[in-house]
Amino acid sequence: MGSIATTQSPVRAASLPNVLTYLRILAVPAVVLCLFLIEGDAGRWWALGVYIVACITDWLDGYLARVWHQQTVLGRMLDPIADKLLVASCLLMLAAEETIRGWSLLASVVILCREILVSGLREYLAELRVSVPVSRLAKWKTIWQLVAVGFLIAGDAGDKAFSELFKQDTLIITNIGLALLWLSALVTLYTGWDYMRAGVRHMID
């Protein structure tokens, strides 16, 4: 039985859904380098292009895993990690170059703290062999986060393109990103509280 498990595990690890997850993780340094090394609007557009591809793989790997019945423990572990790495690294870069600044930094702090808290709770509950399923609201929270970060990556470049297209001097792209970031932060607080209640209940038990 041990030899069978050994021969199967590499195949599962190399399944297309898992490969897409690996690519999403590799997209994290690519987005960071685009924002850090390429100056001006070009850096934002390149970063946004890589980011959009990474977001598409987020949907595609889950869809293919369900349709092809290739859902694995490795995939379930890596998928949320890949999402968190992508969002966290982009938020830090956007804060560093001040697309996110002032009070909006608090929204980023809430999101990052919640992700750290939930990761710790999941690890604790996993040791107790307790599984906390991802709620529908938590899935929407992830979508809003990804969309918000996409708008913020476009940032100044997106504002300029919008202004030239509609002949209006406005920061519409950045402001939409910040509004969605706050929405994500508020939903993050609620879903984080759900995880906290589950963790505390099992600690008491």
pLDDT at 61 > cutoff 50 = yes
Question: Which pLDDT does position 191 carry in this prediction?
Answer: 81
- Structure-model confidence comparison of residues 183 and 11, the more confident one: 183
Q: How many CA atoms lie within 13 A of 134 on its CB side?
A: 12
Residue-number span of the structural domain to which 198 is assigned: 2-204
Q: The domain that contains 42 carries what CATH number?
A: 1.20.120.1760
- How many domains are there within the chain? 1
Task: Report, as an integer, the average pLDDT of 34-58.
Answer: 93
From CA 74, how far away is CA 158, in angstroms rounded?
37
* pTM greater than 0.95: no
pLDDT at residue 49, as a whole number: 96
Q: Is 106 helix (H, G, I), strand (E, B) or coil?
A: helix
Q: pLDDT, tens digit, for every residue of 181-200?
A: 999 999 988 887 777 776 66
Q: Is the pLDDT of residue 93 over 80?
A: yes
Name the residue with higher pLDDT: 75 or 91.
Answer: 91
Picking from 28, 20, 11, the residue whose alpha carbon sits closest to that of residue 64 is: 20
Distances (CA, A) of 99 to 48, 149, 157: 14, 10, 11
Would you place residue 35 in the very low, low, confident or very high pLDDT band (cuts 50, 70, 90)? Answer: very high
Quick one: CA dihedral 142, 76, 63, 136, positive or negative?
Answer: negative
User: Which residues have CB under 8 Å from 25's CB, separation 6+?
Assistant: 78, 81, 82, 85
134-192 confidence digits (pLDDT tens): 678 878 888 899 999 999 999 999 999 998 888 787 889 999 999 999 999 999 888 87
Q: Which residue, chain included where needed, has tokens 């349709």?
A: 67
